Amino acid sequence: MVNIDVIIIHIYLLSIFTTLVKPKISTHLYRLLKFGVVALFVWLISALIPAGQVLAEPVEHAVRIVPLIVLVFVMTQTEVRLILRKIGVRTGLLMSNTIEEHIKTEIIDSVRYLSERRIGALITFERSDSLDEYVRHAIRLNAPLTSELLSTLFTPSTPLHDGAVILKGGTIVSAGSFFPSSENSDIPHALGSRHRAAIGISELTDALTIVVSEESGQISVTVDGYLDRDISEDSLRLYLEKYLQN
């Protein structure tokens, strides 16, 4: 018979290891490790149900299994959300971050200012998936979002202009964050490090990121691993309303 406790311990250990190495490994390897957690969990369930142990000792196994169900869901919530979207299920109830009309105006005003002057920018919105690990290694601001402050943070030759600004609702949480670059081979070679970082964070989390190109001033958006290049202000507003507003 399969030793259930050994499987449970392996699931927890692999989950902890996956969380610790997430910022330092490729997207493909990270997803492979998450798949390993899910595979072990499925193996656990398949070992319990045929043996009739769940019915024989329901309370004991509920204490063991329920935390694992929560753990697996938290680790794979981005993938679950993507699957739900593909089959037409709304995921608005899963979103904790909303954006008010005046905040949209501040963001669009700032992006317009940066775009017209060809000032490179990387603006990332935290949604359901936490970005705390990227905030920890950045400069915490926790300042009210205004177009003037947001634009100033990307001023060339200043200490924070190279990294990403992380927003949550109407707050600038941090500046100077650095994201893992996407290793997707389909990304055009013409795209620079900002675009690759924006795609990278969208592959690992459900964050929405606005990119302003330093070379062309073009505005792009990444979400769910997808890059939409050279969009208009109207399209940007639609993205903000679709992904950041219940």
Question: Could you tell me the CA-to-CA distances from 193 to 18, 23, 76, 126, 200 in Å, in that order?
Answer: 25, 16, 27, 20, 10
Q: Are residues 173 and 84 in the same domain?
A: no
- 229 found inside a domain: yes
Q: Are residues 209 and 171 in the same domain?
A: yes
Q: Are residues 47 and 118 in the same domain?
A: no
Distance between CA 8 and CA 6 in Å, rounded?
5
Q: Are residues 87 and 109 in the same domain?
A: no
pLDDT tens, per residue, the chain with 246 residues: 457 778 888 888 888 888 777 656 665 677 788 888 888 888 887 776 655 555 556 666 677 778 888 888 877 766 676 666 566 565 554 444 456 788 889 999 999 999 999 999 999 999 988 899 899 889 999 999 999 999 999 999 888 888 999 999 889 999 999 999 988 777 877 788 899 999 999 988 989 999 999 999 999 999 988 899 999 998 898 888 888 864
Q: Are residues 115 and 154 in the same domain?
A: yes
Q: Are residues 82 and 123 in the same domain?
A: no
Distance between CA 59 and CA 62 in Å, rounded?
5
Q: Are residues 217 and 238 in the same domain?
A: yes
- 77 found inside a domain: yes
Q: Are residues 117 and 229 in the same domain?
A: yes
Q: Tell which residue, 145, 166, 175, has the closest CA to residue 208.
A: 166
Q: Are residues 105 and 219 in the same domain?
A: yes
Name the residue type at position 65: I
Q: Which helix (H) or strand (E) holds 165?
A: strand 164-168
Domain boundary among 67, 91, 115: 91
Domain boundary among 57, 91, 125: 91
- Residue 62 CB partners (closer than 8 Å, separation 6+): none
Q: Determine the pLDDT at residue 222.
A: 94
- Measured CA angle at 228 (ends 224, 232), to 5 deg: 130
Q: Are residues 8 and 70 in the same domain?
A: yes
- 96 found inside a domain: no
CATH of the domain at 116: 3.40.1700.10
DSSP SS3 for 180: coil
Q: Determine the pLDDT at residue 211.
A: 97
- 115 found inside a domain: yes
Q: Are residues 120 and 234 in the same domain?
A: yes
Q: Determine the pLDDT at residue 65.
A: 77
- 121 found inside a domain: yes
Structure-token match 């950041």, residue found = 244
Distance between CA 65 and CA 69 in Å, rounded?
6
Domain boundary among 91, 112, 144: 91
Q: Determine the pLDDT at residue 96.
A: 45
Q: Are residues 110 and 192 in the same domain?
A: yes
* Domain range for 181: 101-244
| Helix, strand, coil percent content, the chain, rounded in steps of 5 | 55, 15, 30
Q: How many domains does the chain have?
A: 2
- 22 found inside a domain: yes
Structure-token match 């990227």, residue found = 134
